[in-house]
Structure 1
Amino acid sequence: MSTAWQFREATLQDVDNLVALEQRCFDYSRMGARSFKRLLVAPSAHIYVCEQNNTLIGYYLLLTRKNSQRWRLYSIATAPEARGTGLGRALLEHAIEVARVNAAISLGLEVKTDNTTAIRLYEKLDFAVIDLLPGYYDDGTDGYRMRLSFTH
C-alpha cells in the first residue's frame, strides 16, 4: 500500500475530476456532474476520494437511508493507472470502516457477474453473494448482490 495515498471526503470542487474518473473507468451507468452535485449535499450519501500527488485516483460512494443501518456501496472506482497497486482494496477497506464507525449493521453492493477481479476482492474481505440479479445492468449483464454483515 502506498503511503502517498490521501483519503478525504469529496467536495463540490471535486465534481469535474469525479466525472472524468467515471468516464475513464466505466462504459455503463456513468454518473454525471448533476448526480455528483446532488449526492455531495445529500445527507444519505458519503463520497470519499483518494488522491496521490494531488491527483484524484479513486473514489467510492456509500448510500444510506433514514432509519436504516444497512448501507450500500453504490460505486467504487480506481483510475486505470492505479489498478494492481492495492488501491481498490484500500478504498474498500476505508468504505467498510466508514460504515462501521457510523453504526451500520451491513454493507451491500451489486457487481457484474463477469467482474471476477472485483468479486474476488469482495470475497477476500468477507462479502458473500446473497442474490443473483438477472439482466441487472444496462447492457443486460447479470449481477450479484453481495453483503458484508457486521453483526454475527
Structure 2
Amino acid sequence: MHHGVRPTGPAGMSVRSATEQDLSELVRMDHRLFPDMPYPYFALRQLFELYRDRLLVLDHDGELAGYALFATTADGARSWVLALGVVPGVRGLGYGRRLMAQGLRRLADDGVREVMITVAPGNAAACGLYESLGFVQVDHRVDYFGPGADRLIMRMSLPGWHIE
C-alpha cells in the first residue's frame, strides 16, 4: 500500500520511490550531502537492489532534492535508517520530516516493530527532528563508523506511531 503525498512548499515537490534512472543523480547528491562519508556508486546500487521500495527520493520537478533509505532486517521486525538528507536549498522547510514520515508509514504497513538510526552527536538539527518523530537515544558509541566517527544510536517503536 502506498500513501499519497500532500503538496506542501515549492510547487512540484514530491516524495516517491527511487528508480534505476535516479541512481547516477542519487550518487552525486549523496556525495554533496555527505562529503566525509558518501556511499560509493556500487554500494548505493546494491542497496537500491535490496531496498528499492524503501529508497525514497524528494523529487523537485524532475531533479532530486533529498533522499531517505530504510533497510529492514530479514525477520521484518527492525529497520535501520541508513540515510536521510535534503539539499541545502530546501532545508528547514520540513522535507526531511516528510521523507521520514513517508518511510515510517511504509515500514508500519510492512509490520516493522522498531526503527533505529545513528546520528552524529553534534547534529542538533537531526536529533531534534528524530526526537520530534518519537525516537529516543539508547546508546552513544565511540568510533562507531571508525576512528573519531562517534554516533548516537536512537530508537523508536512503530506500533501505535502516527504523525499528523
Q: 2:134 aligns with which of 122, 126, 130?
A: 126
Q: RMSD of aligned C-alpha atoms?
A: 1.8
> Which contiguous aligned blocks of 4+ residues in structure 1 show a shift greater than 3 angstroms?
none
CA distance 1:78–1:44, change in 2 (3 Å): closer
Give the drift of 1:28: 2.1
Secondary structure (helix, strand or coil) at the match of 1:89 reads helix
- Equivalent in the alignment of 2:148: 140
Q: Which amino acid aligns with 2:67?
A: Y
Match of 1:26 in 2: 34
Q: Does the aligned pair in 1 maintain the 2:65–2:86 contact within 8 Å? A: yes
- Identical-residue share of aligned pairs (%): 26
| Normalised TM-score (structure 2) | 0.85
Alpha-carbon offset, residue 139 of structure 1: 5.6
Match of 2:124 among 116, 121, 131: 116
Q: Which deviates more, 92-101 or 110-119? A: 92-101
Given that 1:44 and 1:66 are in contact with CA atoms closer than 8 Å, whether structure 2 keeps it comes out as no
Does residue 4 (structure 1) correspond to residue 12 (structure 2)? The answer is yes
Structure 2 CA distance, aligned partners of 1:37 and 1:139?
26
**Aligned with 2:71 (options 63, 66, 72):** 63
TM-score, length of structure 1 as denominator length: 0.92
State the partner residue of 1:106.
Answer: 114
1:94 aligns with 2:102: yes
Structure 2: stretches of 5+ with no match in the other structure: 1-7
